[in-house]
Amino acid sequence: MNTEASSSTLTPFYLPDFCTSRAALGVVLIVELTALILTLAHDSAALSFWSDLARSSVFLLWIGLAGAALLCGARDRLKKMPVAKGSTAVLALIVGLVVIVSEGTFLAGRSEFIESAGAGTLFPSDHWSFVGRNVGISFVVTSLALRYFYVTHQWRRNVEMQARARVHALQARIRPHFLFNSMNTIASLTRTDPARAELAVQDLADLFRANLSEKRNTITLEQEIEVAQIYQRIEHLRLGDRLRVIWNVAPLPKSALVPGLMLQPLLENAIYHGIEPRPNGGAVTVTGESSGGLITIVVRNPVQQCESEHEGNHLALANIRERLALMYGERALVKAGRFDDEYIVTLRFPHVESLAKLTA
Amino acid sequence: MKLRTLIVDDEAPARERLKSLLAELENTQIVGEAMNGEQALQLVVDLSPDVVLLDVRMPGMDGLEAAHHLSSLVEPPAVIFTTAYDEYAVNAFDAQAVGYLLKPIRKEKLVAALQQAGRLTRPQLQKLTAAGAGTEHRTHIAARHREGIRLIPIEEILFFLAQQKYTTVRHAKGEDLIEDSLRVLEEELGSQFVRIHRNALVNVRHLDAIDRNPEGQYTVRVRGSTDALQVSRRMAGELKERFRI
């Protein structure tokens, strides 16, 4: 388990809240299962199976419920710790508790009250072997439980992230502004230049197909660049000479896999915020590089002097960032910001050509 | 008599479409087309059309600002806004009963809008601006003069001085009178300008020096002007704070 890398991103802490009755029930269940395993494995001549199970259950319930109370009380502190440190602390707490309860049980077995009641056989006879074995067992069981909680937590987080990414993807769909302006352009072209109008309708159809596609989660870089260029073609009809896009993407590996609609929204942002507000237009530059197994794509556009950051821009970026993270984990990077009179977005992600490698 | 129309849109296909639609109408005549607000104002002055079909979203001076400046003309034309998609603007137009057309424009709607087209009033325009139908502030100040209006880019303005009835605009190319009050101007251009006196609003961009005479009076010098503008005692504190002196 790569706790070091994920610790920074893993908030809140992965353990469930032991202060709830639901969690307490879970603890009782784990305790009883452990007691069952121990009793089944324990070949005791002195006691019947049921007595043995009852004895283990009582002992383990003490530990389980006291442990839950301990974790409930320490929750606020544990939450602030990174995963590795928090897990170690939980492990230490539980093992420490087991030592104390074991010691207490052993001493109780030696007390006069128990001796006189004739229940001495129910208690352990060998002091160090008893405590030592309990420490070992609690260490293994707690580790397993921690691992279980960690994995379920990660899984739930992933499900949530995917759901959120899907919502964002919906929101990031092509701007209505673009759709209606394109429709207007086509309406105009049908009279003046029917051939170009036809091309524009085909382009718009392709663009929407890419947008609505269910399989758009992963496509090749070549396909993605093509979608962006189709988009550029439609905008070009409308904006004419005001729009220039410079593509320096020859070094990019065509078959590398990327999340669909990663580049087109960036181009759309660059045109909407960078080119359209300028009376004389300007140039958007798309530069691609590939080296050391990493692909870098940089989109830059000129910005107005007193232009502030835009809501739509952030939404699109957040969406791309999330989808890249979903696909490549922490190996992907999205940077965006203003540098002098340019707005620059940088995407960096690993060069992967097969889905099998991606999930590995 | 034919209705004389002016088409204003930054996108060539959009202008083409309006031209071909208008060409099919019997009683309309296209007198010109403009690509942005500045051009539109110039053409309105030169050609005095009856109706202006004005795109809302344009680079530079947008449609709403152009409409503002148009309304300061002696005989402003009627205005019909056009837009492809702009929720804010459309809601504001509806609320103020201002004529507008959604692109792609239908011929019937165009005919109806031309028949109903009216002049915009100042209160209407102010409400449109308040509703966020255009950009936050003007890019130009319009001053009326003999041949029509002069547009002064905000960045070229040195300062505004309030007179009894009018406000003087001192700018790179001279001086003009406008009707806006300093209060309105300050509210709109607040971040780029600084109020130094009850009667003076100065462009921060052109601020050159802040001097103090032996009596403790502050004055401000502005690049491109020889005047020393008085800073009132009340404003001196704010001024010092803003420039950390």
The CATH number of whichever domain residue A262 belongs to comes to: 3.30.565.10
Do A157 and A200 reside in the same domain of the chain? no
Task: Using a pLDDT cut of 90, give the percent of chain B over it.
Answer: 38
Residues of B in contact with A237 (CB under 8 A): 13
Do A39 and A151 reside in the same domain of the chain? yes
Q: A169, A323 in Cβ contact below 8 A?
A: yes
Boundary residue ending a domain (A169, A187, A219): A169
More confident site: B34 or A326: B34
What the block records as the tokens of B203 is 């462009």
Do A103 and A162 reside in the same domain of the chain? yes
**Terminal CA-to-CA distance of chain B, rounded, Å?**
65
More confident site: A170 or B67: B67
Reading chain A (360 residues) residue by residue, the pLDDT tens digits are 333 333 334 445 788 888 888 888 888 888 888 888 888 887 766 678 888 888 888 888 988 889 889 888 888 888 888 888 888 999 999 999 999 988 888 888 777 777 777 666 777 778 888 888 888 988 998 899 889 888 988 888 888 787 777 666 655 567 788 899 999 999 999 989 999 999 999 999 998 888 877 655 688 999 999 999 999 999 999 999 999 999 999 999 999 999 888 899 899 999 998 999 888 899 999 999 999 999 999 999 998 765 555 555 677 788 888 888 888 888 899 999 998 889 999 999 999 988 776 654
Cβ-based interface (< 8 Å): residues of B facing A: 10-14, 16-17, 20, 35-36, 57, 59-60, 84-86, 102-105
Residues of B in contact with A240 (CB under 8 A): 11-12
pLDDT at res. A5: 36
Contact B86 A188 (CB under 8 A): no
Range B157-242 has CATH code 2.40.10.480 = no
Contact A181 B16 (CB under 8 A): no
Residues of B in contact with A175 (CB under 8 A): 85
Q: Could you give the dihedral angle defined by the CA atoms of residues A234, A239, A243 and A245, in that order, rounded to the nearest 10 degrees?
A: 0
Boundary residue ending a domain (A143, A169, A195): A169
Do A164 and A49 reside in the same domain of the chain? yes
The total number of structural domains that make up chain A = 2
Question: What is the tens place of the pLDDT at every residue in B156-208?
Answer: 999 999 988 889 999 988 889 888 888 888 888 878 898 999 899 999 889 88
What the block records as the tokens of A141 is 């069981």
Do A153 and A279 reside in the same domain of the chain? no
pLDDT at res. A2: 38
Residues of B in contact with A238 (CB under 8 A): 11, 13-14
Q: Which of B36, B84, B105 sits opposite A181 (nearest CB)?
A: B84
Do A100 and A27 reside in the same domain of the chain? yes
Do A183 and A125 reside in the same domain of the chain? no
Q: Which of B11, B20, B57 sits opposite A191 (nearest CB)?
A: B20
Give the Cα separation of B154 and B2 in Å (integer).
Answer: 37
Q: Is the dihedral angle over the CA atoms B14, B19, B25, B28 positive or is it negative?
A: positive
Do A101 and A200 reside in the same domain of the chain? no
pLDDT at res. A305: 61
Give the Cα separation of A236 and B238 in Å (integer).
Answer: 49
Residue B214 Cα, gap to closest chain A Cα (Å): 39
Do A125 and A196 reside in the same domain of the chain? no
Q: Is A264 helix (H, G, I), strand (E, B) or coil?
A: helix
Question: What mean pLDDT do residues B111-132 have?
Answer: 83
Could you tell me where in chain B the CATH 3.40.50.2300 domains are found? 3-130
Closest chain A residue to B37 measured between Cα atoms?
A279
Boundary residue ending a domain (A139, A169, A199): A169
Task: Using a pLDDT cut of 70, give the percent of chain B over it.
Answer: 98
Closest chain B residue to A196 measured between Cα atoms?
B13
Residue A245 Cα, gap to closest chain B Cα (Å): 18
pLDDT at res. A10: 41
Contact B17 A187 (CB under 8 A): yes
How many residues belong to chain A? 360
Q: Which fold has domain B3-130?
A: Rossmann fold (3.40.50)
Give the Cα separation of A134 and A294 in Å (integer).
Answer: 50
Q: Domain range for residue A55?
A: 3-169
Name the packing angle between helices A221-239 and B12-23 (round to 10°): 50
ipTM exceeding the 0.85 mark: no
Do A164 and A300 reside in the same domain of the chain? no
pLDDT at res. A329: 80
Do A270 and A251 reside in the same domain of the chain? yes
Q: A327, A218 in Cβ contact below 8 A?
A: yes
Could you tell me where in chain B the CATH 2.40.50.1020 domains are found? 157-242
Residue B2 Cα, gap to closest chain A Cα (Å): 24
Do A65 and A95 reside in the same domain of the chain? yes
Strands A257-258 and B3-8: what pairing?
Answer: unpaired
Local structure of residue A19 (DSSP, 8 states): T
